[in-house]
Amino acid sequence: MRALVIAVNLNKDNFQCDIDEFIMLAQSAGANILHIELFKKDMPDNKFFIGSGNVQKILSLLNDLSIEIILFNQALLPSQHRNLEKIWNVRVVDRVSLILDIFALRAKSHEGKLQVELAQLKHLSTRLTRLWTHLERQRGGIGMRGPGESQLEMDRRVIGSKVKILKERIKKIKLRRISQRGLRERNGAFSVSLVGYTNSGKSTIFNILAKDKVYVANQLFATLDITSRRIWVGDDIDKDIILSDTVGFIRDLPHSIVEAFHATLEETASADLLLHIVDSSSNEMYDQIENVNKVIKEIGASNIPTVLVYNKTDKSKITSKLLYDDSAGLVAKVFMSAVNLDGVDFLKSVISNASKVLRNNV
């Protein structure tokens, strides 16, 4: 679709990185970006976010560029969203809606689709408008007499019912996963989960360790559905090691996404070891680490032993190596490149060592 991107700098230090990331999100969703309009404000305008003058400026661009959709690099309030669409008369998609759209595009498993739909419905429920006021039952007329329930109220009730059904289905899947996890624990399996910022290389590393073919692409949120495989890291390991790949995180990840995917993310919260995959070539590396740690804390996994795996050393020109944490007896950091396989043996030794050191906790 022919898209116009609006980005507003609210006095953020890393504004350019925000723009670059949002453009990647838009392209991942299939947008054809024709124009990017940048604004700077101290605080959002209550009615239009960008102010009435800027709204008119955008209006003059719409016809000239034949814009079909406007992508907003901020989360809009329902009232702001309605006001902008009413004036511009084109579809407006804010940051939260765009991420949800990408999730809907990428979800492949039954559980993933259920979780995305749940997040979408919860987001939609805050944005229902009286688009059908001319059909309200209380106005009477043939076919309109009855209990006096407006279309808006009906929509809210229908969405509420669907949300309840989805939660029940996800709950059943969660119970099945808990049962499977309990079986692995009884069999003495050692569980390792890959976490990290989206597009950090988690799935590439997963494919190497599991000798699998999980979908990999240079795009945000290429992986949504959790995948678990038994892996081999050495002959001296006397127990199964189960490796799980999970959804990537991103800055300002909508809470509705974290909440909807909680059943999946619990697999991470129950792991014996987390491998936090980091893009060592990114200028925003430390900010990305911080954002991932926030989500890890939110899902209750901050107490799990974690190893930082600095991937993409082929781009950052860092030598592959290990850095030990003597106090816990575990490796604290690994530097490697999944692309040229440099340092993969280091990573295997980290997992092997952790399975022995943490044996008593499994």
pLDDT, tens digit (0-9, with 9 covering 90-100), for 277-287: 999 999 889 98
Mean pLDDT over 253-265 rounds to 68
* 71 marked among binding-site residues: no
Residue 246 in any domain: the answer is: yes
Is 90 a residue whose pLDDT tops 70?
A: yes
Is 83 a residue whose pLDDT tops 80?
A: yes
For residue 139, give its domain range: 107-166
Clarify whether residues 115 and 239 are in a common domain. no
Each residue's pLDDT tens digit, 193-221: 999 998 899 889 999 998 876 555 555 55
Contact call for residues 296 and 263 (beta carbons, < 8 A): no
Q: How far apart are CA 251 and CA 249, in angstroms?
A: 7
Higher-confidence residue of 329 and 124: namely 124
Is 112 a residue whose pLDDT tops 50?
A: yes
Residue 315 in any domain: the answer is: yes
Structural domain ending residue among the three candidates 53, 69, 102: 102
Clarify whether residues 132 and 250 are in a common domain. no
* 325 marked among binding-site residues: no
Q: How far apart are CA 343 and CA 335, in angstroms?
A: 7
**26-35, 246-255, 295-304, 325-334: segment of lowest average pLDDT:** 325-334
Residue 180 in any domain: the answer is: no
Clarify whether residues 298 and 222 are in a common domain. yes
Is 52 a residue whose pLDDT tops 80?
A: yes
Among positive and negative, which fits the CA dihedral 315, 319, 320, 326? Answer: negative
Q: How far apart are CA 141 and CA 64, in angstroms?
A: 44
Residue 179 in any domain: the answer is: no
Mean pLDDT over 88-107 rounds to 85
Q: For residue 298, what are its two tokens?
A: 């939110």
pLDDT value, residue 4: 94
Residue 135 in any domain: the answer is: yes
Residue 262: band (very low, low, confident or very high) from pLDDT cuts 50, 70, 90: low
* 203 marked among binding-site residues: yes
Higher-confidence residue of 153 and 77: namely 77
CA 345 to chain centre: 29
Residue 181 in any domain: the answer is: no
Residue 125 in any domain: the answer is: yes
Mean pLDDT over 315-321 rounds to 81
Q: Quick one: which of 11, 76, 74, 8 has its CA closest to 42?
A: 11
Is 45 a residue whose pLDDT tops 50?
A: yes
pLDDT value, residue 9: 92
Number of structural domains (the chain) is 3
Clarify whether residues 49 and 31 are in a common domain. yes
Higher-confidence residue of 116 and 146: namely 116
Residue 174 in any domain: the answer is: no
* 202 marked among binding-site residues: yes
The torsion angles phi and psi of 108, rounded to 5 degrees, stand at -115, -40
SS (H, E, C) 16-55: HHHHHHHHHHHHHCCCEEEEEEEEECCCCECCCECCHHHH
Clarify whether residues 194 and 112 are in a common domain. no
* 247 marked among binding-site residues: yes
The type of residue at 249 is F
Structural domain ending residue among the three candidates 60, 79, 102: 102
Clarify whether residues 247 and 298 are in a common domain. yes
Clarify whether residues 161 and 239 are in a common domain. no
Clarify whether residues 214 and 340 are in a common domain. yes
* 306 marked among binding-site residues: no
pLDDT value, residue 137: 42
Is 251 a residue whose pLDDT tops 90?
A: no
pLDDT value, residue 133: 41
Q: For residue 113, what are its two tokens?
A: 């689709």
Clarify whether residues 222 and 287 are in a common domain. yes
Clarify whether residues 8 and 70 are in a common domain. yes
Q: How far apart are CA 63 and CA 41, in angstroms?
A: 25
pLDDT value, residue 181: 62
Contact call for residues 244 and 226 (beta carbons, < 8 A): yes
Q: What is the mean pLDDT of the chain?
A: 80
pLDDT value, residue 3: 92
* 223 marked among binding-site residues: yes
Higher-confidence residue of 193 and 260: namely 193
* 224 marked among binding-site residues: yes
Structural domain ending residue among the three candidates 102, 121, 154: 102
Higher-confidence residue of 237 and 75: namely 75
Among positive and negative, which fits the CA dihedral 28, 29, 31, 36? Answer: negative
Clarify whether residues 215 and 337 are in a common domain. yes
Mean pLDDT over 104-125 rounds to 78
The type of residue at 285 is M
* 361 marked among binding-site residues: no
Residue 294, classified by CB atoms within 10 Å of its CB into exposed (0-12), middle (13-18) or buried (19+), is middle
CATH of the domain at 353: 3.40.50.300
Higher-confidence residue of 136 and 323: namely 323
Q: Quick one: which of 249, 316, 240, 237 has its CA closest to 276?
A: 249
Q: How far apart are CA 184 and CA 242, in angstroms?
A: 9
* 201 marked among binding-site residues: yes
* 264 marked among binding-site residues: no
Each residue's pLDDT tens digit, 170-194: 788 777 766 766 666 666 688 899 9
* 221 marked among binding-site residues: yes
pLDDT value, residue 58: 94
Is 35 a residue whose pLDDT tops 90?
A: yes
* 312 marked among binding-site residues: yes
Clarify whether residues 217 and 356 are in a common domain. yes
